[in-house]
């Protein structure tokens, strides 16, 4: 066996692996180069790990304990995740290959090998997505009176109405394009729905190209509700693509349509601007955004009945190889089915409504500044309402004693109340400074619009630091009280987005602690002005020390374990990829440190390997809410420390972004955070996936007389009772 040949096959599936198989594979791995913690065999591939997460999302679509329309939504989320995977991760691997960057990653896979493994995993996943739709969800929806009607199922009455709908609503908007020397193959927009139409015969000008293209109108909904008077109930739906298929011949009078085939191209969506060469970042990004929709193609989806010669013809026009073509057993834009979740008025098939909890001292009628002077407040969203954060800004905007407000914005909603309050504060004469991160992926255009709106209201807008995304979540309010200036801060693990605050789990700290406020003030100075790195009292910041801080804390636990003192590490995050952190965790595990990690998405560490990582356990929780918070807990003998942060343990977060990590100093709050973010997920036996050494995930289930337990449901019930 060569040194570069992996012992364990990397798995991107969520297949159920027997414990004996895992132990056998782990034993083989433990004998492999134990003297080298940077050996490729010790690391799971990042891209395959991300695909494994999407596969776990897909499994929620199969879970019969999940409400039916939520299962449909999870299916669509898995499709959307796969779109973004190609737009970002596959595009990145392909670029490495094109630029001659052939060295393997920490896992030992070269770009070529990675693309081959990705292709195999995606083929399996796409087949499963359409099988779940066709064989599980569509029949289950039909049993509930929600019908997704195929063309073969239309009654004469329905077909007549749909034909009329085509002529009145679709046909006037469509612009078919015949391909000939005067009409070459057009530029096709990223992820737009298109049809390749094979034709026979000559047109009015004697042309016989044999091929035309039709683009589905972007301005029209992809799901059409059939009126109740033409159906058996209120929830009969038809895909726009099905209507186009059925009547597309009317776009080519006198010609014979030999075939009509859906296709969709996915393109590289990463934006590149040379920040050291440009003078205006916003203007440069606007230029890049105009071209994003027509960047290099990375995937072509075609209908499963599309002839090979047409698929290859389309692939050649996009510069796509056969290995980048994926056939779909159904609509190529499957994620558009999510519209049915909103159109179908069936609350009984969705999660029951949840009303977030608000502490009495943080109700809108309370004086929040007085409340924060008495104590810090910790909020766990979405179980705790995000409204107190908005109310703090509302009170600041209207309070004559408030002189200045500073805030970072990475992602916000289109109609964010916080943005409106920032504008209100600026118009009231307060000094308002906002750090807007224009390069928040897929939110660039919205953030440019947001920055322009803020500037027009008199807000001082800063675009962060060249070469480093500002990912920290911070807000500071400066208020004059009894002749002196006092500061109040909010620090969070999630974005200032009221929509995601209802569906993402995150922690918020609201405080008037002078040391904490001084730290946040200094970081804002650093972001908006010029100067050397300033010493901080409590907050730890990347890229100026967070990586070293984490390594020091992990190494401290290692020394505690070697000395026989209590030693444990518990952490919750979205992704774990940074090799230095992984190596430090392996060393800690060898010393006997108990390590529990709740990692929602990518995890490149191999847990449970004898002699290497046998004290490390990794779980991923997937359920109603998206697990998004970042929490780090270190036992430190008899002096435990708990920290919350905006940073995952990834290279980009630790070296290429401005992040903050802040301590939870109150022992009661610390215990609460550890309980809710770490302990409950490790008690979960309904929505917890355990990661094994071979990269596979095993969905835990109650054994024997074990009581079924969901971490998220336990928190919903706990917070519902205040």
Q: Is the pLDDT of residue 245 over 90?
A: yes
When pLDDT is averaged across residues 187-206 and rounded to a whole number, the result is 86
**Any known ligand binding at 692?**
no
Give catalytic residues, as residue numbers. 471
DSSP-H helix ranges across 249-358: 281-292, 308-318, 338-343
DSSP 361: G
Q: What is the mean pLDDT of residues 125-130?
A: 97
Higher pLDDT, 184 or 361: 361
List phi, psi (to 5°) of 585: -65, -40
672-695 pLDDT, tens digit per residue, is 999 999 999 999 999 999 999 999
The percent of residues in the chain predicted with pLDDT above 70, rounded, is: 90
Higher pLDDT, 34 or 644: 644
600 carries a ligand binding annotation:
yes
Give residue-wise pLDDT tens across range 69-107.
Answer: 999 999 999 999 999 999 999 999 998 888 888 888 899
The reported pLDDT for the residue numbered 522 is 95
386, 453, 287, 466 alpha-carbon torsion, rounded to 10°: -60
Of 290-299, 479-488, 510-519, the one with minimum mean pLDDT is: 290-299
pLDDT tens string 577-589: 999 999 999 999 9
Predicted confidence (pLDDT) per residue in 138-147, tens digit: 999 999 999 9
Which pLDDT score, from 0 to 100, does residue 135 have?
A: 97
Return phi, psi of residue 476, to 5°.
Answer: -135, 135
pLDDT band at 263 (very low <50, low <70, confident <90, very high): very high
Q: Between 696 and 14, whose confidence is greater?
A: 696
Confidence of residue 126 (pLDDT cuts 50, 70, 90): very high
For residue 672, give the 3-state DSSP assignment: helix
What structural domains and CATH numbers belong to the chain? 145-345 (3.30.1840.10), 360-538 (3.30.870.10), 541-720 (3.30.870.10)
504 is in an annotated binding site: yes
- pLDDT greater than 60 at residue 500: yes
Q: What is the pLDDT of residue 5?
A: 32
Q: Does pLDDT of 283 surpass 60?
A: no
Tokens representing 190? 């990223």
The per-residue pLDDT for 22 is 41
Q: Report the chain's mean pLDDT, rounded to a whole number.
A: 89
Give 157's strand partners: none
Condensed to tens digits (0 to 9), the pLDDT of residues 660-672 reads 999 999 999 999 9
* Residue 81 assigned to a binding site: yes
Reply yes or no on whether the pLDDT at 32 is more than 60: no
Please say if the pLDDT value at position 531 is more than 80.
no
Residue with tokens 């409340």: 371
Q: Which position has the higher pLDDT, 387 or 704?
A: 387
> 721 a known binding residue?
no
Residue 497, annotated as binding a ligand? no
> Which runs of E-coded beta strand occur in 482-593?
484-492, 504-511, 540-542, 568-573
Report residue 305 CA to chain centroid gap. Answer: 32
CB 197 within 8 A of CB 252: yes
Give CA–CA dist 141/149, Å, rounded: 11
Q: Is the pLDDT of residue 439 over 80?
A: no
String of b and e for 462-480 (b: at least 16 CB within 10 Å)?
A: bbbbeebbbbbbbbbbbbe
């Amino acid at each position: 066996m060569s040194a570069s040949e992996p012992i364990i096959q990397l798995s991107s599936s969520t297949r159920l692996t027997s414990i004996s198989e895992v132990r056998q594979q782990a034993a083989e791995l433990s004998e492999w180069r134990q003297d080298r913690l940077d050996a490729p065999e010790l690391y799971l591939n990042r891209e395959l790990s991300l695909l494994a997460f999407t596969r776990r999302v897909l499994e929620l679509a199969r879970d019969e304990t999940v409400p039916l329309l939520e299962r449909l939504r999870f299916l669509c989320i898995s499709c959307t995740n796969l779109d973004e995977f190609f737009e970002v991760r596959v595009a990145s691997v392909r670029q490495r290959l094109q630029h001659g960057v052939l060295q393997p990653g920490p896992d030992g896979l070269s770009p070529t090998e990675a693309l081959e493994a990705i292709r195999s995993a995606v083929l399996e996943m796409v087949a499963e997505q359409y099988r779940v739709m066709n064989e599980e969800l569509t029949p289950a929806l039909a049993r509930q009176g929600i019908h997704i009607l195929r063309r073969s199922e239309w009654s004469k009455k329905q077909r007549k109405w749909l034909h009329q709908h085509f002529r009145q609503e679709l046909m006037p908007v469509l612009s078919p394009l015949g391909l000939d020397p005067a009409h070459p193959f057009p530029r096709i927009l990223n992820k737009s729905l298109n049809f390749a139409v094979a034709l026979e015969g000559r047109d009015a000008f004697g042309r016989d190209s044999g091929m035309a293209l039709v683009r589905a109108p972007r301005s029209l909904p992809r799901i059409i509700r059939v009126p109740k008077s033409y159906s058996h109930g209120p929830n009969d739906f038809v895909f726009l693509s099905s209507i186009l298929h059925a009547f597309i011949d009317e776009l080519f009078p006198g010609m014979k349509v030999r075939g009509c085939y859906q296709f969709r191209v996915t393109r590289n969506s990463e934006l590149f601007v040379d920040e050291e060469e440009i003078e205006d970042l916003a203007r440069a990004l606007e230029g890049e955004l105009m071209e994003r929709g027509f960047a290099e193609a990375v995937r072509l989806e075609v209908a499963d009945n599309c002839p090979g010669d047409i698929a290859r013809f389309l692939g050649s026009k996009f510069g796509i190889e056969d290995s980048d073509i994926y056939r779909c057993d159904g609509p190529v834009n499957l994620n558009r089915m999510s519209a049915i979740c909103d159109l179908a008025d069936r609350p009984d098939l969705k999660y029951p409504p949840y009303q977030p909890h608000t502490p009495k001292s943080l109700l809108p009628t309370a004086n929040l500044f007085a409340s924060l002077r008495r104590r810090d407040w910790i909020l766990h969203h979405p179980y705790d309402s995000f409204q107190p954060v908005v109310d703090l800004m509302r009170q600041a905007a209207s309070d004559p004693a408030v002189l200045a407000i500073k805030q970072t914005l990475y992602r916000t909603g289109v109609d964010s109340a916080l943005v409106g309050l920032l504008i209100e504060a600026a118009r009231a004469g307060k000094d308002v400074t906002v750090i807007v991160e224009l390069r928040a992926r897929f939110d660039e255009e919205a953030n440019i619009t947001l920055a322009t709106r803020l500037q027009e209201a008199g807000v001082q807008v800063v675009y962060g630091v060249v070469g480093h995304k500002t990912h920290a979540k911070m807000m500071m309010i400066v208020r004059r009280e009894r002749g002196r200036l006092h500061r109040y801060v909010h620090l969070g693990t999630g974005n200032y987005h009221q929509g995601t605050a209802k569906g993402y789990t995150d922690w918020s700290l609201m405080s008037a602690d002078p040391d904490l406020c001084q730290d946040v003030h200094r970081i804002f100075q650093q972001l908006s002005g010029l100067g050397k790195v300033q010493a901080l009292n409590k907050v730890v910041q990347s890229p100026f020390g967070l990586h070293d801080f984490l390594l020091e804390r992990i190494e401290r636990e290692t020394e505690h374990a070697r000395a026989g003192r209590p030693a444990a590490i518990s952490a919750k995050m979205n992704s774990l990829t940074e090799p230095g952190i992984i190596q430090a965790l392996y060393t800690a595990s060898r010393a006997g440190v108990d390590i529990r990690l709740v990692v929602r998405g990518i995890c490149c560490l191999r847990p449970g390997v004898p002699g290497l990582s046998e004290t490390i356990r990794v779980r991923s929780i997937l359920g109603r809410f998206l697990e998004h918070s970042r929490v780090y807990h270190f036992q430190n003998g008899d002096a435990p420390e708990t920290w919350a942060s905006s940073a995952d343990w990834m290279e980009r977060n630790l070296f290429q972004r401005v992040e903050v990590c802040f301590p939870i100093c109150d022992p009661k709050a610390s215990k609460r955070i550890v309980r809710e973010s770490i302990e409950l997920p490790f008690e979960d036996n309904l929505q917890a996936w355990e990661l094994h050494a071979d990269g596979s995930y095993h969905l835990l289930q109650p054994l024997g007389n074990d009581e079924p337990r969901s971490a998220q449901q336990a928190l919903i019930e706990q917070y519902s009772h205040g």
